[in-house]
């Protein structure tokens, strides 16, 4: 039957890894400009961001989409 997650580009990637990668790629300031949520703009940390994103599906979706965009940019280099 096959793995239902086979076509999911986020399969196996933790939310922590996503946030850490985005911070490394964009930095907190740029990340806060791209996704306007307070956990990225006011005293940002991975821990506070994860706490917020785990409780807020719309914000997590935006972060995951930006991660996929960033990954495509990295792959093109």
Q: DSSP state, 5?
A: T
Percent of the chain past pLDDT 90, that is, above it, reads 75
34 in Cβ contact with 68 (< 8 Å): no
**CA distances for 43 relative to 29, 47, 66, angstroms:** 11, 11, 21
Strand, helix or coil for residue 35: coil
| 34: Cβ contacts below 8 Å, ≥ 6 apart | 26, 66
Over residues 6-12, the mean pLDDT reads 83
Domains in the chain, please, with CATH? 15-76 (1.10.720.30)
Q: How confident is the model at residue 1 (pLDDT cuts 50, 70, 90)?
A: low
d(CA 68, CA 46) in angstroms, rounded, equals 18
């Amino acid at each position: 039957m096959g793995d239902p997650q086979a076509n999911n580009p986020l399969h196996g990637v933790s939310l922590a890894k996503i946030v850490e990668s985005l911070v490394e790629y964009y930095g907190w300031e740029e990340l806060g400009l791209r996704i306007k949520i307070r956990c990225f703009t006011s005293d940002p940390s991975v821990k506070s961001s994860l706490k917020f994103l785990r409780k807020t599906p719309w914000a997590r979706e935006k972060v995951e989409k930006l991660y996929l965009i960033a990954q495509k940019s990295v792959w093109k280099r």
